[in-house]
A and B are shown apart, each in its own frame.
Chain A
Amino acid sequence: MNSSVSLTSREEIEVHRFSWLVSIGIPLVAIFLQVFVRIRLLTILDLPLLVTIFFAVARRRPIPGMITGALIGTLQDAWTLHPIGLYGIAKTIVGYLGSSIGVKLDVENPGSRFLMTFAFVLIHRFVYMAISLQLVGGSEAWMWSHTLLSALVNGLAAVVLFILLDKLKLRN
């Protein structure tokens, strides 16, 4: 599949498939929960980002991963007052990186999932802030504590969420 050096076994680089319902329904549910459920914890969690990371890593194909991230991010932007594209761009990059890194790393391990998610949350936040500040002219401030806390919470949530979502994978 890929001749480059990989830290995964043959079983680990297996490409998982999901049903259309799962592929569409899970992101929508994540966005719905993120937008309409007024839970303080969900303000720290970024469920669309976690779903994006999961599908990108599970599919291990960059293009579907980035498209998934672009769509989820764009839908997420639609519910905000920000210009559409901020989350879309950020999640496109995360989806691309997640699908690319899923080929070379063992993303089935809970520890690696935590670290991977932790890093992706930081990247996502960084890209979002960069676009917001440099292109759009936003005025949001970078808060390290909140960003790190969010990364930590999302990392932990990702370990649990990914286990649940693993059940939705299609088996041969």
Chain B
Amino acid sequence: MENFFSRYKNPLTLMAVLFIQVVGLATQVKRPEGAKPGTTGSGTRLIRVWTVTAFTPIEKMFVSTGHFFSSGWHNYADLRGVRKQNRELQDEVARLQMEQVRLKQDADQARRLQALLEFKEKFISKTVAAQVIGTSGTEQSRVITIDKGSSDHIKVDMPVITPDGIVGKVKEVFPLSSQVLLINDHDSGAGVILESTRLQGIIKGTPLGELQINDIMSDEKVEPGERVITSGGDRIYPKGYAVGRVISSTPDRDNDPFLAIKIKPAADLSRLEEVLVITKIAEDTQAGEGPTPMRAADILSQRLPSVPKQDPNAPKVPGGTTTGAPAATASPTPVKAPNSAAAATEQKPGIAANPLKPPAPGTGTTVPANDSAKRSATGTTTATPGSSANKAGAETKKPPSTGTGLTTPAGASGAAPGATATPPKPRPAPKKTPAVPADSNAGASQPKAPDQSGTNAPAATPAATPSPAPEKPPR
């Protein structure tokens, strides 16, 4: 250090002298604020300007350092709060996401229920909406469990539907839940009609969970895509509801000469969430389909005299006093019917005599005699032959072979297919179906007021029947 000063003594002295003079100069000079170079004024002394200018960076450095540490500390403290707040926000986001999902599910459910409601208001008089709460869990048994049971007036064999199509029927009823046998179960079955060709058949489930019709003759032409609807003949499902569409139609090698028609169900049976259990079918369910032409053979068969069965319990009242179809007039007499709604869905096929559902106006299809008075309110029904073996045609192993020829219900011709599950294909050996009332459990119903508008079934106008017929005469 000493050498440095001794070596650079002269320059250092020069710098010192110059510095002193510059400082002295600066103490004299005042620079006005904002003054341009080359101007003097009574502003701030230059020494102050220089001092401030010289010390400002140092001050800034200290201040910046202080701010750095201060802000660092504050940032750290803030970060602690931010972490906590971040956790809270994440929880909030998670909660909102869950709520959003729940709301979305609620909205979807609301839409589905709205669709169900519209559907119900349009077709069904009384239904019970139910939630699917479980399945069988096996491929061997295609059963779902709904959250409605006997406490909700659910009964066995009530049809279960969705706006898309039929689902199945109630198989078991518990107080708070019920089991529904899906239509694609191999034990299930339903009477159906191919909508365009009016071919009737019985749709059954396969072990693979597919829907198949096996009782249509192979010489019939069935195109893929054809719509399949319920015939109503099974006494379970109302007529006209969508069942599905034809996927393929191939000759059935195991059941020659019939076709194996595979059906794609209209309702997504694998994703059921809400369903409707039909507890009561509206009288005008089929009103929208309009009058169906009645076959002359049917009319003729109705007008032909028949031998009524003797019912010892029924009063001897002459029927058809004014209609010209005495045997076919409303006959609320309780006639022993071999079938019931429950039995109709079991393994026996038969011609439908659906007591739950009126046939199309003027169809002259089979109606239980004991319902004729009730049906007469619509003026659409006549007492036509009904199959004593009318088991709704559902869940049969073989297609029905009855109901052909003149005595075949009109449904066989496609005029009113809902009343029968008889396959449309005439059998080689047609035989008459005895006109036996199908159901008697509703025979206690009183005849309704006559309806003069039943022009489509002139021979069976129940309005003209003041007294119930003792029984339906067989054809």
Q: Which residues of A contact B (CB under 8 A)?
A: 62-63, 66-67, 70, 74, 83-86, 88-89, 92-93, 96, 100, 131, 133-139
Contact = CB atoms under 8 A, between A and B. Distances in A.
Contact of B17 (A66, A84, A86, A137): A66
A136 B28 CA distance: 9
A135 B26 contact: yes
B35 interface: yes
| Interface of A (DSSP majority class) | helix
B85 interface: no
Interface residues of B, number: 20
A80 to B, nearest CB: 12
Given A83-B28, A86-B25, A139 B18 contact: no
B39 A139 contact: yes
Given A62-B14, A63-B9, A66-B13, A135 B29 contact: yes
A62 to B, nearest CB: 4
B90 interface: no
B53 to A, nearest CB: 12
Contact of B40 (A66, A67, A89, A136): A136
| Interface of B (DSSP majority class) | helix
B25 A137 contact: no
B385 to A, nearest CB: 129
A83 B10 CA distance: 26
Nearest to A63: B13
Contacts, number: 63
Interface in B1-56: 9-10, 13-14, 17-18, 21-22, 24-26, 28-29, 31, 35, 37-40, 46
Contact of A137 (B10, B24, B39): B39
A85 B28 contact: yes
Contact of B14 (A66, A84, A133, A138): A66
A10 B35 CA distance: 55
Contacts of A66: 13-14, 17
Contacts of A131: 25
Contacts of B46: 135-136
A92 B17 contact: yes
7 A-B pairs with the lowest CB-CB distances in the bound complex, closest first: A85-B25, A62-B10, A83-B28, A139-B38, A85-B21, A89-B21, A96-B14
B38 A70 contact: no
15 contacts: A62-B10, A62-B14, A66-B13, A84-B28, A85-B25, A85-B28, A88-B21, A89-B22, A93-B14, A93-B18, A133-B38, A137-B39, A138-B38, A138-B40, A139-B39
